[in-house]
Amino acid sequence: MISFEKSIAAYKEAVKLMPGGVNSPVRAYKNVDMTPIFIERGKNQNLYDIDGNAYIDYVLSWGPLILGHADDEVIKALKDTIDKGTSFGAPTLLENKIAELVQKFVPSMEMMRMVSSGTEATMSAVRLARGYTKRDKIVKFIGCYHGHSDSLLVDAGSGLATFDINTSPGVPKNVALETLTVPYNDEAAITDLFKRHGDEIAGVIVEPVAGNMGFVPAKKSFLQTLRDLTTKYGSVLIFDEVMSGFRCDMRGAQHLYDIKPDLTTLGKVIGGGLPVGTFGGKREIMKNITPDGKVYHAGTLSGNPLAMMAGIKTLEQLNQETYDQMSAKLDRLCTALQAAADKNGVTFTIRHRGTMWGYFFNKGPVENFADVQKSDKDYFTRFFQYVIQRGIYLAPSPYETSFISTKHTDADIDKTIEVFSDAFANVEK
């Protein structure tokens, strides 16, 4: 057994200061019956906690760190940038540069705005869809998570699914009523909804590869149905690629599926570990943002030079070869883990797309939130407690996705296969 003594002591202080002792709920480890592990530092694919334990990290700050922790080039560029100042509240060349870079990866973003989180990106995209169409209703899918703005906290995944919250208290009833929800990957349900409410729907927001109810890729025909319906009814199609962007494919899910949304939201990787999000898309729609139009959007720290630089240096290092290598490692990992589970009689489903991967303790196919909920949560808790003690750092919830970085090695994959296999053999079923 490794020791978490210092983390446990730090947590005792933290709970007096912050709800749950943390600044974001899933970090609290509540649902896996543990206290959170306090991190001291990270380098490349590894995390080190304040008790001196080392981990192979598959959370990677919940997705952003595609180059791993403290990538040499990112850190060097940040050091150079910080000497010039931390924030100006005025345009910098870095903002032009990152926007041009983003467009190379995601050409559907003809114009964009930088923000400081994924939540801001989706909140602004939804407001823009409403302002542009002059309609109020928004459609989202059960189990998808789009950050914590009021309109989007209805039937959401991630922390809400982890802690079994349907719609957050504090969201006004009238606001929640404007958010319509249907099951993910359900073409009949969304078609029926549009038949009934099509003319009132401002926009449809979707994670084109869902990562907040565990890892659940969309069916191509489902995304095509969304494209067809929103075009037919004049609604705005928003792909929330805060997680899938630069992850499920270098060019995002919209490239993987060859379907072009009207608006896209990005976050995580685009900030290289600093706080960044962006929303953008068709020029005709984006022109409605202030000061060109009247849909209000602003931000004191939007386009912050440090955050822009971390993003630029991250995006500059991404290429097809690095993706192919990461994807090949996950292919090997997923195949070996499925075989190990089968051999040990553990019901298990594992998949990956590009650099995202996820697993469930139930029999597939897992296509929506109802399927996800058939996963054995108690087994997940026992499994999680086992693997973390063996130095494999996973998200502490069955409703999250795992990632890989360019720094993970074949030896890391071997070690992970070994630990998972031991867990399948030894954790009580």
Can you name the residues that pair with 142 across neighbouring β-strands?
183
User: Is 407 designated active site?
Assistant: no
Nearest CB to ligand PMP, comparing residues 42 and 245:
245
In terms of CB distance, is 109 or 413 closer to ligand PMP? 109
Query: Least distance (Å) from ligand PMP to the CB of residue 369?
Result: 14
Site string for ligand PMP, 42-81 (x = CB under 6 A): --------------------x-------------------
Q: Categorise residue 295: left if φ over 0, alpha if ψ from -120 to 50, beta otherwise.
A: beta
Tell me how far, at minimum, the Cβ of 419 lies from ligand PMP, in Å: 26
**Tokens 């051999």 -> residue:** 343
Which residue(s) pair with 402 in the sheet?
357
Catalytic residue among 57, 155, 186, 240: 240
Q: How many CA atoms lie within 13 A of 413 on its CB side?
A: 21
Task: Give the Å distances, CA to CA, from 126 to 230, 253, 328.
Answer: 14, 19, 36
26 binds ligand PMP (CB under 6 A): no
Report the relative pairing of strands 46-49 and 54-57 from DSSP bridges: antiparallel
Binding ligand PMP (rule: CB under 6 A), the pick from 71, 240, 262, 367 is 240
E strands, 354-425, are 356-360, 392-393, 402-403
Which span sits near ligand PMP by CB under 6 A: 32-40, 86-94, 144-152, 218-226?
144-152
3-state secondary structure of 145: coil
The DSSP 8-state label assigned to residue 110 in this structure reads S
Least distance between ligand PMP and beta carbon 393 (Å): 17
240 is catalytic: yes
Minimum CB separation of residue 61 from ligand PMP in Å reads: 10
Contacts of 23 (CB under 8 A, 6+ apart): none
Dihedral sign, Cα of residue 296, residue 299, residue 300, residue 304: negative
Q: Token pair for residue 21?
A: 């002792």
For residue 280, state whether it binds ligand PMP (rule: CB under 6 A). Answer: no
Using CB under 6 A as the binding rule, whether residue 302 contacts ligand PMP is answered as no
**213 near ligand PMP (CB under 6 A):** no
Q: State the Cα–Cα distance between residues 66 and 273, nearest whole angstrom.
A: 9
* Catalytic entry in 145, 323, 379, 399: 145
Task: Build a one-symbol-per-residue string for 153-182: x at contacts with ligand PMP by CB under 6 A, - elsewhere.
Answer: -----x------------------------
CB 31 within 8 A of CB 165: no
CA angle 281, 287, 292 (to 5 degrees): 145
Would you count residue 141 as binding ligand PMP (CB under 6 A)? no
Q: What is the distance of C-alpha 401 from the center of its chain?
A: 8
Which residue sits closest to ligand PMP, CB atoms considered? 118
Sheet holding 402-403, edge to edge: 349-353, 356-360, 402-403
Determine if 242 is a binding residue for ligand PMP (CB under 6 A).
yes
Q: Which of residues 91-120 bind ligand PMP (CB under 6 A)?
A: 117-119
- Closer to ligand PMP at the Cβ: 273 or 346? 273
Site stretch for ligand PMP (CB under 6 A), options 90-98, 237-245, 307-315, 381-389:
237-245
Residues forming the active site: 145, 240, 268
Interface residues with ligand PMP (CB under 6 A) are: 62, 117-119, 122, 145-147, 158, 207, 211-212, 240, 242-243, 267, 277
